[in-house]
Copies of this chain bind each other. A is one copy, B any other.
Amino acid sequence: MVTFNDSKPTIDVLCPTRRGLSLLSNQWTLLVLGALHKGTLRFSELQTIIEGISKKMLTQTLRDLERNGLIKRVVYPVIPPMVEYSLTPLGETIIEPIWAFRDWSEEHIEEVERAREEYDRRSRLPLQEQTAALVQQRAHEASEL
């Protein structure tokens, strides 16, 4: 079986995994959740911590996370405004999978990037040399065993 829901041999549009995947529709979501892991942060603190995020995307990401019940938003009626964000209990539960992915990235991302460079290098060669490069590669792999 290759299913994600252990009931059909297809990966159904409505299986939990795909519904969950929709939460990570933008690349910032996971980073915001990760940043909030240690506790409460203000809007401006998040924007400082998450390098490169625009105000617009941070706002939008925070709204989505709040809407999905993963974070809590607290507005203090002061001037200038102050808004604090923190994980809800539900939000805390998603930290573990995020850490799993972070750990995988730290351990394997460089191998991925090496593979990518190798692929790109090879794709710039004429066809005949590609075959030769592959033979080389196989010989290299064999020598590692």
Contact = CB atoms under 8 A, between A and B. Distances in A.
Number of copies: 2
Interface residues of A, number: 62
Nearest to A41: B2
Contacts of A48: 10
Contacts of A90: 108, 111-112, 115
A51 B13 contact: yes
B106 A16 contact: yes
Contact of A30 (B21, B37, B105, B111): B21
A66 B50 CA distance: 30
Interface string A14-44: 0011111111110100110011111001000
Nearest 10 Cβ contacts at the A-B interface: A69-B115, A20-B105, A16-B105, A97-B100, A100-B100, A16-B106, A67-B119, A97-B101, A17-B102, A97-B104
